[in-house]
Amino acid sequence: MGKVYIRTFGCQMNTYDSERIASIFNEMGFSYTENPEEADFAVINTCSVREKPQQKVKSEIGRLKRVNGIKIGVCGCVAQQEGEKFLDNFKDVSFVFGTDAIGRLYEIIDLVQKGQRVCDTSTNEGEISIPSFSRETSVSAFVTIMKGCDNFCSYCIVPYVRGREKSRKAEEIIREINYLVENGVREITLLGQNVNSYGKNLDENINFPKLLYMVNDIKEVKRIRFVTSHPKDFSDELIEAMIENEKVMPYLHLPLQAGSDNILKKMNRKYSYGEYLEKVAKAKERIPGLALSSDFIVGFPGETDADFEDTLRAIEEIEYETIFAFKYSPRPKTKAFNLEDNIPDDIKSSRLDALLKKQEKITRKLMKKYLGQICEVLVEGMSKKDDSIYSGRNPQNRIVNFKSNKNIKTGDLVSVKIMEAKKNSLFGLSV
């Protein structure tokens, strides 16, 4: 039996795609290995949203090519963008496949095994291929409901490499979720570049809030999460659906990106800070215990000290539990690529640092509010550091490690009293 090693860069969409790639290799008789040294095939799932992960691909190829006889494949956004150029520039790469070609991987692997070098970056304008149903399951699973994006934020490469928005049919999504729960999954994360656009290009009368009701009706599903929501499409109807469907967790990732209207406009985000704040305030007021998270870009072209101050003020005002922040890097093809990248790197770094430091204080303060609370934890297994301690997540997606003398199984929902708030996790006792 051959072995496959997969290295994934980038977002959750890529993580999900890597799972599908692993399951196709599995169906073709390959087992998965964490050790590239023993692999017959290696797949690098690339991300082109920022420059750094793109550079890492080259060093990964350099590392892998030293493994005797290994066949190296490259997929994901960089592969979609570069296509044949990858095969021309990297003689050690045997196959390149795009984001729409995962369903054709069976044929690609077959050709590579016969000694051919293959490039398949053709796009499939039809339905999103149905994920393989043989992937290994755990307590939580991602389910793609749509892909692509029509928003064209000025800094973002996604609409160019992942294409326009395409939604999967609801019945296909429900079928996949039914399969997953039959195999032990209890928490479903609905995944899309902009889940709030779900259904727009389908004939059926469906949108994202309606889909939440359908998933909530599946008996064995215990928890529902979703990423990512675009703030401009975040609606009252969605807030209602989050309240009415008890399995939808009180966690919302709503990327603000910048606190300054001037920068938001240049980013083509299509909302002002005031509009964003209004939506978030309503969601916080209506959804008990809501935890918020967000993405930020610092050092966007033309970002002044005052613009950046607006971002600092925003995180203080909104009080996110978590943020993901990055320094701006220009991406070819995007609109912002034509703007002068005029913020020196040391200023970008110091702004990033200041933002993360401020967030650390906010997170510390918010973690303390869990002390003494009794929360429901979905058990994912034993703690990696200590096998006498159980580990899972609370509704707000925080890791909770806890002790218990009850007979607890993975996938159980357990009530835990929080005794200690650490930097990024909580500790408690089952009650």
Residues in contact with ligand SF4 by CB under 6 A are 149, 151-153, 156, 158-159, 193-194, 230
Nearer to ligand SF4, 129 or 151 (CB): 151
Nearer to ligand SF4, 16 or 30 (CB): 16
Supply 409's token pair. 């199984």
- Report the alpha-carbon distance of residue 276 to residue 256 in Å, rounded: 8
Residue 129 CB, nearest approach to ligand SF4 (Å): 20
221 within 8 A of 260, measured Cβ to Cβ: no
170 within 8 A of 146, measured Cβ to Cβ: no
Residue 187 CB, nearest approach to ligand SF4 (Å): 24
Residue 59 CB, nearest approach to ligand SF4 (Å): 26
Identify the bridge partners of residue 95 per DSSP, sorted by sequence position.
73, 118
Nearer to ligand SF4, 159 or 428 (CB): 159
Residue 158 CB, nearest approach to ligand SF4 (Å): 4
Residue 156 CB, nearest approach to ligand SF4 (Å): 3
Nearer to ligand SF4, 60 or 233 (CB): 233
Residue 316 CB, nearest approach to ligand SF4 (Å): 24
CA dihedral 398, 401, 405, 409 (to 10 degrees): 60
Residue 153 CB, nearest approach to ligand SF4 (Å): 3
Nearer to ligand SF4, 146 or 211 (CB): 146
Nearer to ligand SF4, 102 or 156 (CB): 156
Nearer to ligand SF4, 152 or 427 (CB): 152
Nearer to ligand SF4, 50 or 230 (CB): 230
Residue 159 CB, nearest approach to ligand SF4 (Å): 5
